[in-house]
């Protein structure tokens, strides 16, 4: 009797599926260092640096492309060819810096892959072109072009055309053309006092209605404060500037300084924490951009189940707290310009965030190293 019972127990144990359920294996790529500074290099010479691409995931990563671009992309290149990176393996990517002119140069290495955490890794590149054997006259052509406009007779053609548009054009217009109609011409010419009878009503309405809307371009939304916020998480422009556009992957892994530079190149600034929260909560002070009650499917958080950062505005239900502002909850974390003690505030949560930690709320954030990038952290610009 005892022997029979023992056999039954052994057979039952052998046939059960006692292990944990298999988890999804995916590739996860990281790059080190996150940015490369080549320092100074002679014009016409080449300096090489290496970045290491590591797959910390549990599946093979497929690398679709390694490309170099940016403002001065022609000064940088890579001949390294990478097609796959095995799980747990690393691959070195060699980048060459060959400055073609004197002065600072900037570019970026773009790594496109099927990695779950970062389908597009961006490595900022910087260097300074120098020329120790160049004579002091090497800069003469540029200096001449700059000085030709405002100074000597050599710049008379440029000076004339410049002055004709800015100063002299006003004299003939004011005399023969507009002399008889001073009030009609003056308001548009930037002299509101001259047209005082007409200037009063437009100016009276401008502060409350006209000024904020007129100041924000189409890719930005007007805040109640009168400022502007990008409608979309920042993506990368052809010149290294931050772009606010739908259906493109957000720009990730930048430091705070790099994000600030990207916004500045777009004529904007990295949103402060107060600006960001005001844009997320909207004039109604919402807890989430879409309302006061959490929805696991409204935005790209952990409960949505997308398991990756997706293009901007792909999740169309993740909109608010102002009309047409997308992805302020989930998708990519968004760093802000509010910093202290080497850390900056990160807001909005990401595709990895759940409702439990509260990071998907407009009102919640955490501190993140100012000089570090992360493949789940993006940013948004304000103005």
96 lies in the same domain as 228: no
Contacts of 221 (CB under 8 A, 6+ apart): 228, 229, 230, 231, 279, 322, 323, 324, 325
Q: Which two tokens stand for residue 254?
A: 């930048």
Contacts of 129 (CB under 8 A, 6+ apart): 40, 41, 42, 43, 75, 99, 100, 101, 102, 103, 104, 105
Instruction: Give the residue numbers spanning the domain of 265.
Output: 217-383
Tokens 């409960």 belong to residue = 303
Residue 317 maps to a domain: yes
What is residue 128's predicted lDDT score, i.e. its pLDDT?
A: 87
Looking at 72, 105, 130, the residue that finishes a domain is 130
156, 64 Cβ separation under 8 angstroms = no
Looking at 64, 98, 130, the residue that finishes a domain is 130
For residue 380, what are the CA distances in angstroms to 74, 110, 122, 147, 368? 28, 20, 17, 38, 16
The per-residue DSSP string of 148-209 comes to HTTSSGGGHHHHHHHHIIIIITHHHIIIIITTT-HHHHTTTTT-GGGGHHHHHHHHHHIIII
What is residue 133's predicted lDDT score, i.e. its pLDDT?
A: 56
Query: CATH code at 42?
Result: 2.60.40.10
Residue 19 maps to a domain: no
125 lies in the same domain as 223: no
Residue 145 maps to a domain: no
Give the mean pLDDT per block of 10 residues along the chain (383 residues): 41 44 73 90 91 94 88 88 95 94 86 80 86 48 31 32 32 35 39 38 34 73 94 96 97 96 96 96 96 96 94 97 97 96 94 86 92 93 97
255 lies in the same domain as 377: yes
Which strand (E) or helix (H) includes residue 215?
A: helix 211-215
Q: Which two tokens stand for residue 375?
A: 């493949």
What is residue 355's predicted lDDT score, i.e. its pLDDT?
A: 83
Looking at 101, 130, 159, the residue that finishes a domain is 130
Residue 165 maps to a domain: no
Contacts of 274 (CB under 8 A, 6+ apart): 338
What is residue 24's predicted lDDT score, i.e. its pLDDT?
A: 63
112, 236 Cβ separation under 8 angstroms = no
């Amino acid at each position: 009797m005892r022997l029979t019972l023992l056999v039954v127990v052994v057979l039952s144990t052998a046939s059960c599926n006692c292990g944990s359920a298999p988890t999804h294996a995916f590739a996860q790529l990281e790059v080190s260092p996150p940015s490369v500074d080549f320092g100074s290099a002679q014009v016409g010479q080449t300096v090489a640096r290496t970045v290491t691409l590591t797959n910390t995931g549990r599946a093979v990563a497929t690398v679709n492309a390694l490309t170099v671009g940016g403002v001065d992309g022609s000064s940088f290149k890579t001949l390294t060819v990478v097609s796959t990176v095995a799980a747990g393996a690393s691959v070195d990517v060699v980048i060459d810096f060959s400055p073609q002119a004197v002065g600072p140069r900037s570019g970026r290495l773009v790594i496109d892959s099927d990695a779950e955490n970062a389908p597009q890794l961006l490595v900022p590149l910087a260097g300074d072109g120098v020329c120790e054997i160049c004579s002091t006259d090497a800069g003469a052509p540029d200096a001449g072009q700059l000085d030709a406009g405002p100074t000597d007779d050599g710049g008379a053609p440029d000076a004339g055309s410049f002055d004709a548009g800015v100063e002299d054009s006003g004299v003939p217009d004011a005399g023969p053309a507009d002399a008889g109609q001073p009030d009609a011409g003056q308001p548009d010419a930037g002299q509101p006092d001259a047209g005082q009878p007409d200037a009063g009503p437009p100016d009276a309405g401008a502060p409350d209605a006209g000024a904020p809307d007129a100041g924000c371009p189409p890719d930005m939304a007007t805040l109640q404060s009168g400022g502007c916020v990008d409608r979309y998480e920042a993506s990368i422009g052809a010149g290294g500037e931050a772009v606010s556009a739908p259906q493109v992957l957000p720009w990730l892994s930048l430091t705070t300084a790099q994000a600030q530079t990207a916004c500045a190149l777009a004529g904007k600034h990295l949103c402060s924490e107060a600006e960001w929260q005001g844009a997320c909560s909207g004039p109604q002070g919402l807890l989430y951009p879409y309302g006061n009650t959490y929805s696991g499917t409204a935005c790209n958080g952990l409960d949505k189940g997308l398991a990756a950062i997706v293009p901007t505005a792909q999740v169309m239900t993740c909109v608010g707290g102002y009309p047409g502002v997308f992805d302020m909850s989930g998708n990519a974390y968004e760093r802000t310009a509010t910093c202290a003690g080497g850390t900056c505030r990160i807001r909005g949560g990401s595709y990895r965030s759940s409702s439990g930690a509260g990071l998907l709320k407009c009102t919640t954030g955490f501190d993140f190293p100012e000089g570090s990038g992360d493949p789940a952290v993006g940013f948004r610009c304000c103005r």
